[in-house]
Amino acid sequence: MRKSKILRETKETTVELEINLDGSGVFKVDTPIGFLTHMVESFAKHGRFDLNLKAKGDIHVSYHHTVEDVGITLGMAVLEALGDKKGIQRYGYSIIPMDEALVLCSIDLSGRPLFFYEDLGLRGKITDFDFELIWEFFKGFALESKSTLHIKVLSGKILHHVAEACFKAFALSLKQAVSLVGGGIPSTKEYL
């Protein structure tokens, strides 16, 4: 089974994350940010990743550091769990509706960290969660997992629906990309 366990500690946050890429969607998520907890739970459930996450951070300053560091730690854990990447699909994509929202996500576990994001300029809060922190989470993931990640909001008005569609599309795309299809390294360079 492809698993990893990461502990990331900074002056601003402590994040412990354990993931099993070949799981069934069993999760235990504990963060001080309710909406972040909800999104990470949705990611684990819909991607069918077994996930244990415990995060603490300086939320009295801002949610920014905790949200970003959870994304960073998830990226580190996925990269470690993938090992040499032999036999993986490599690419994954999904278009997910969530009521009026529609989000496209595409990922390449290429070894080249790039992140592209479009959200129609949507801004505001989901309860006390700043919507633009979604960008920080996925950017942290893309850079630390060394993947190319595209997320594009095609339509949407209700920020909760848009954010949830982003996480669900990401979950399904990542699950497809990490799936084992056999063979060697999926690259003509024989390296990812």
CATH number at residue 56: 3.30.230.40
Contact assessment for residue 54 and residue 150, using Cβ atoms and an 8 Å cutoff: no
Q: What is the pTM of this model?
A: 0.97
Closest of 68, 63, 70, 66 to residue 44, by C-alpha: 70
For 8-28, write each residue's pLDDT tens digit: 999 999 999 999 999 999 999
Q: Does residue 73 lie within any of the structural domains?
A: yes
Number of domains in the chain: 1
Q: Does residue 185 lie within any of the structural domains?
A: no
Domain coverage including residue 154: 3-178
* 133 pLDDT higher than 90: yes
Q: How many CA atoms lie within 13 A of 152 on its CB side?
A: 9
Q: Does residue 85 lie within any of the structural domains?
A: yes
For 152-169, write each residue's pLDDT tens digit: 999 999 999 999 999 999
Q: Does residue 26 lie within any of the structural domains?
A: yes
